[in-house]
Structure 1
């Protein structure tokens, strides 16, 4: 859900009053003891007692545009709607932040709407999968429960009406973006890390594209989660999966095993590489389906390269926080991508 807890830094000055209001315990009913503020790349989250209030920043990025109030409202409403299935009871609604006649700000009620908030129930962070992975406390039963939850979700999704060529075009466009970033000399990423994995991705699309085409023809591409990371999975009494991607539905269109490969890759980065094969085996049993090993390796390689790209692109921020972190993280992901090689031509 978030990166690190700290005072907001990369926040437009026009939001100073809003951030100050939402950071004050007295702005909430009931009044919490304190309000913790977490800044992500696109939002601010205000942890107030048992609830979280999410404020989307008025930013424009290559994949979204939240500069208008109407677009932020629409995205807040979409976020609540798309997360209902995997996180029932967590996303409580979208509420306006309003200014009343006396000039004061309020959450909900009458007045001029100045912004929108997503209101969420706060979950126990000690039960998040990333915490459990980092402390090596993930059990076989945990993996069973996660896969039961995900398999039930994927089985409910109708196959998308895509042609094999449309899917290949999407893959080529995505790899082009990743290639352009990771090959950009201004980021100074080691050529011996970037070149082998990027070459492997392009070679696969050129030589083994029929495996991707087959997945489309068999109806295996669905409207998935879109951002299936360990920090989005909570292993309480019921498995809860939050932060299903809402701002562009096409970014959710994927093979379930692509998402599983992503989840397993993130678990590997956190120190438990054994989780990935366990996830794949369990999902294969539950979905009665198993892609070729080389396709799974392609998915893993691409996902690791994508995460390397998203890491290094933090340096494009006007005032990047912890700039020394992102090249190190990007290189770690590139090493994970290299672990998948070679994968073209295998089955």
Structure 2
């Protein structure tokens, strides 16, 4: 669907709603918050790391999103519904009309219970962290082990940030832009120096079919923590080292100036499922945190490049620089 069609869908949904549906846009999706449900429609985009370019692919990845997210959530992900069009109007879940796209239907959960919101209000407790660590550690124990994988693909994923240099070179300082090339060099060296460790972790079953996008905006802190919105669009981003998985959450907590909670999470996690048993593994964990800061920088750069709103663009660029500098900080610790 196009943005104009999404706007028409919002208008049509609003005619039968108690409240006007609210649109939340990301670089790959449109999310519509309605009265009782939330609908997620994938944008018809094709990046180096995902392909939503056809209707068939978007339907497939909607179905994957339901299946994969049900592993860690309860009563949030419901089903996949068609987005139909008839006589110039749009609806979700109707039998009549032509299918314009597909939407993931989810239960509407109070956004104030998202971990990032609670974190900003200083309401994340040690008990929250303990329960979350238990949930993730136990999930990692039983999720599928992945052996047929190239651990060195991580280098190309890290280096994909280089594709943003052309755009960023005219939008941020030269010094901050230079971090990208310098970091790619350090990352390549780290991967080469730790090749045997990376291979060993594959052989020892530490690569699992994980969540893949475990950060504070993707977690509801209900009585039972509910990590949602896992990666469905690229298996290699989800089938990762368990240290890589928890590194994203810990990097996110570090970025929010809550290293105390980050360290607490690792401590609780290790009590249930020891993940760092050597100095080399501890350094690998720090490298994974740099990779996760790299991902955040890339996503914010993509968002900056896709918006026409100058205020929004400046904020995304500010976030890009923040994560570039955090990535650089972590890499220095691995040297």
- Whether TM-score is above 0.5 comes out as yes
1:1-347 → structure 2 map (5 Å cutoff): 12=2, 15-26=3-14, 31-99=17-85, 104-111=89-96, 112-162=98-148, 166-168=150-152, 170-182=153-165, 185-187=169-171, 188-190=173-175, 193-194=179-180, 197-291=183-277, 292-317=281-306, 319=308, 322-344=312-334
Residue aligned with 1:339, SS: helix
Give, in angstroms, the shift of residue 247 of structure 1. Answer: 1.1
Q: Of Structure 1 and Structure 2, which has the larger fraction of its residues in helix?
A: 2
Over the residues paired in the alignment, what is the CA RMSD in angstroms? 2.4
Change (3 A) 1:99 1:266: same
**Taking structure 1 as the reference length, what is the TM-score of the superposition?**
0.85
1:264-318 alpha-carbon deviations (Å, 9 max, x no partner): 1112222312122111111111113325211111111121122222222334327
> Which runs of no fewer than 5 residues in structure 2 stay unpaired?
none
Matches of 2:48 and 2:180, distance apart in 1: 23
Matches of 2:15 and 2:70, distance apart in 1: 27
Residue aligned with 1:119, SS: strand
1:191-237 alpha-carbon deviations (Å, 9 max, x no partner): 56445544432221122222222211211001111111101111112
Give, in angstroms, the shift of residue 256 of structure 1. Answer: 1.4
Give, in angstroms, the shift of residue 128 of structure 1. Answer: 1.0
Matches of 1:279 and 1:316, distance apart in 2: 34
Maintained 8 Å contact 1:200/1:344: no
Residue aligned with 1:323, SS: helix
Residue aligned with 2:135, SS: helix
Change (3 A) 1:204 1:233: same
Residue aligned with 1:216, SS: helix
**Taking structure 2 as the reference length, what is the TM-score of the superposition?**
0.88
Maintained 8 Å contact 1:189/1:327: no
Matches of 2:72 and 2:129, distance apart in 1: 16
Maintained 8 Å contact 1:189/1:331: no
Give, in angstroms, the shift of residue 150 of structure 1. Answer: 0.8
Matches of 1:286 and 1:23, distance apart in 2: 49
Matches of 1:302 and 1:66, distance apart in 2: 24
Change (3 A) 1:336 1:25: same
Residue aligned with 1:271, SS: coil
1:159-182 alpha-carbon deviations (Å, 9 max, x no partner): 10235xx212x0221132224535
Matches of 2:11 and 2:308, distance apart in 1: 22
